[in-house]
Structure formats: structure tokens, C-alpha cells
Amino acid sequence: MLKYTFYGHACFMLDDGEYKILVDPFLTGNPQATISEKNVEANYILVSHAHDDHLGDAAEIAVRESAELVAIPEILTLCTSRVDRAIKACPMNLGGKMNFPFGLVKMVPALHSSGVEGGIACGFVINIFGKTIYYAGDTALFSDMKLIGDSDSIDYAILPIGDNYTMGIEDAAKAVQFLNAKNVIPLHYGTWKVIDQNPEEFRKLVVGAEVYVVKPGQTIELA
Ligand code: NI
Ligand code: MN
């Protein structure tokens, strides 16, 4: 069974029963956080970009959990400077794929600022437990999402809908079409007033995919 647990804002865990993959672990200072950075478990940590609401506690958790940190090199350098113990760094960059014990990860483009000098924001396509999951990170709508949908049959697209810093609900609904995703999980909304959105309004705009509104602290099975 593949489980998705939402920890609030854009932080979530994929758990295939053997490996825990923690994504964008912004917990300290996250008004929606449903777990403490001191209690969260991880075997792998994926970071989409270096803005605080994504990079968050990644360095500290990686050290404590001896987790592998998967990110672009500039973020890994930043993380290494934040802690006094070695980090298991796994550098990737846009367009690259890497095999992990749980499955294949491809780092894909996102259209967003990076939060670190020389860096670039990304998304991830994660093949795990026979499912293909696309996490967009923070991004605007871009037509090359069609390429992501062409090369992989996306079972679940995890998309920001908060607007202001990322796509809003209209563009995110268009992204679902570009990606040809079967299911979609919105996130990156409601954390602060500026990204307040109603996911039920998003649901109304989505054509041809199932929308799963997952609340902070909730776990669902990705079937
Ligand atoms: Ni950002
Ligand atoms: Mn963000």
C-alpha cells in the first residue's frame, strides 16, 4: 500500500511500507504543520527549491534521520552549511533521473524563483509502488507540462493552487489537462491569507481527473 500523508502547506510523506520519502519539509514556523520536525521520520528527503516554505527543516532532519537528501547541488551546499554533521547528499539536476531502492526519481523543471544563488526550482516525477506521482513544487503553468504528461502516465499530480506565489486554481486546472493526470491533489493554499483558496472551487474546474482534497494531518492511500 502506498500512503500519502499531508503535513501542511507543501510538506508531505510518501510511504510504501518500507521507505519513507519526505518532501519539502517546512515544519518549523508552518502554521499548518501537523507534526514536529523533531518527530518526523524519513529515509529520503526531496527538496524542490530553497524558499523557506519548502527547504524548511531539511538539513536538520536529514542529519538526525540519516536520510538521503535529494536536491540540486546549490541547495545541498546550503544545507551542509547549516549543520555540523555530514549530510547524505544526493545531487540531481533538471532532466536527470536516478534510481533509488524505492523507485525512480526524475527532476523536472518548474517555473519559479530558486531561493538560492545559482539554483533553480524544480518538480519531481516519482515512480514508487507501481505508481507515477508528479509533484510540481512551486510553479507557474507552463506548456512543457505536456512533455511531462507525455513521457509518463501520471497517476497522481500534486499541484500548488494557492495563487500569488504559484498557479491559482484556473491555471492548476489547465495543468491537469496538460499533464493528462488521472488524479490530482492540491496543496500550497490556505497557509496564509495571501494564498487562501477554496479547493472545492478548484474541483469544479478540473476536467477528466479525480480531485482529492487532503487536509493537514490526513493520510490517504494512493490506489
Ligand atoms: Ni517558492
Ligand atoms: Mn512556496
In degrees and rounded to multiples of 5, residue 206 shows phi and psi of -80, 130
Q: What's the CA-to-centroid distance between 126 and ligand 1, angstroms? A: 20
Q: pLDDT, tens digit, for every residue of 133-148?
A: 999 999 999 999 999 9
Q: Which ligand is nearest to the CA of 114?
A: 1
Instruction: Tell me how far CA of residue 121 lies from CA of 53, 109, 171, 193, in angstroms.
Output: 13, 7, 18, 24
Q: Which ligand is nearest to the CA of 11?
A: 2
Tell me the percentage of the chain whose pLDDT exceeds 90.
Answer: 99
Q: What's the CA-to-centroid distance between 77 and ligand 2, angstroms? A: 20
Q: pLDDT, tens digit, for every residue of 179-206?
A: 999 999 999 999 999 999 999 999 999 9
Tell me the C-alpha distance between 81 and 70, whole Å.
16
Q: pLDDT, tens digit, for every residue of 8-47?
A: 999 999 999 999 999 999 999 999 999 999 999 999 999 9
Contacts of range 111-115, beta carbons closer than 8 Å, 24 or more positions apart: 111/139, 111/140, 111/141, 111/142, 112/49, 112/137, 112/138, 112/139, 112/140, 112/165, 112/166, 113/49, 113/51, 114/49, 114/50, 114/74, 115/49, 115/50, 115/51, 115/52, 115/54, 115/55
Q: What's the CA-to-centroid distance between 109 and ligand 1, angstroms? A: 13
Q: Are 120 and 111 in contact (CB under 8 A)?
A: no
Q: What's the CA-to-centroid distance between 138 and ligand 2, angstroms? A: 5
Q: Label residue 151 by pLDDT band (50, 70, 90).
A: confident
Q: What is the pLDDT of residue 22?
A: 98
Q: What's the CA-to-centroid distance between 1 and ligand 1, angstroms? A: 31
The single-letter code of the amino acid at 10 is A
Provide the residues around ligand 1 (an ion) whose CB is within 5 A: 51, 138
Q: Which ligand is nearest to the CA of 113?
A: 1
pTM of the model: 0.98
